[in-house]
Amino acid sequence: MIDDETKDGVPAPLQEGSKRRPKRRYDDARRSEEVASVRRAIRYELDPEDDDDAEPVREPVIELDNISLAFDEPILKEVSFVAREGETIVVVGESGTGKSTILKLILRLLVPDQGRVSIDGEDISHLSFEEALKVRQKMGMVFQGAALFDSMTVFENIAYPVREHTNLGEDEVEARVREKLEFVDLEPDKVMQQFPSELSGGMRKRVGVARGMANNPEIMLYDEPTSGLDPLTTGTITRLIMKLQRELGVTSVVVSHDIRSAFRMATKVALLSERHIAFFGTPEEMTGSDNTYIRDFLGGT
């Protein structure tokens, strides 16, 4: 998938001609340890019995293999990465680098010009419309701004995909809605009959997550889930995404501009630059990289 000729997770093309800065070993070690300690603390809060040293073998769930896509001009070029079972991959990069396009490819709303997108080992690039719909049932999507139906109550918003794609009776639908609201730490009796306009931004995001997970998907996709939120609410949404990973084993791909939040929730970080994956690895590996572009990117965020 990723070019074997890498250094610190950086493809060979980005190594050539880059000026190496003097190593700042103490600062690098301190930054990496700070990132690692924050992630360990959050994970301990979610699961005190978790053992970081016991790493299970995880199967690939989402695979992008040598993906290229262009419209009037190239958008993505030879992009590859793998999201394994239970992992959270956070895609970061400058504006206009094609981050949200990756989500559309995974949802099969776009088809690549070259390469393949696989879900659970199945190449979805050439599926029919009906076949693509079946694959999409494995996924839940949380849009930027939550994208709730303004004319529907919270209950109706979350119940909508359940009614569309299952044969559950109304009592079972209500039980499902209550279950998902409780999972995102909202009180069903207080919010079910409210409209989105009556909710705070953070509550709307949590309702969006509840709707995305309404049909118990194995994959969750997030487009800027913390955009426009205050730091405390950002922390709430970040912990919620981690809770989905840890308690339900959900595989997630998150597009984000928020590096601090990304480092807390990410199993791996994919940095997009100039239509390529400039880096793919853990947050600790990213902060410890000597690559000039990576350092400039982190320094400017």
Q: Please give the CATH superfamily to which domain 24-47+57-138+217-301 belongs.
A: P-loop containing nucleotide triphosphate hydrolases (3.40.50.300)
What does the DSSP 8-state code read for residue 109? S
Task: Specify whether the CB–CB gap between 1 and 81 falls below 8 A.
Answer: yes
Among 212, 205, 207, 171, which residue's Cα sits nearest to residue 192? 207
Tell me the average pLDDT of the chain. Answer: 84
Among 26, 87, 69, which residue's Cα sits nearest to residue 246? 87
pLDDT tens sequence across 184-210 = 999 999 999 999 999 988 899 999 999
Start and end residues for every CATH 3.40.50.300 domain found in the chain: 24-47+57-138+217-301
pLDDT of residue 52: 53
pLDDT of residue 144: 78
pLDDT band, residue 13 (cuts 50/70/90): very low
pTM for the complete prediction? 0.78
Among 94, 68, 67, 99, which residue's Cα sits nearest to residue 82? 67
List the alpha helices (DSSP H) in 3-153: 12-15, 25-46, 99-106, 129-136
Separation CA 171–CA 164 (nearest Å):
15
Among 85, 138, 149, 84, which residue's Cα sits nearest to residue 107? 138
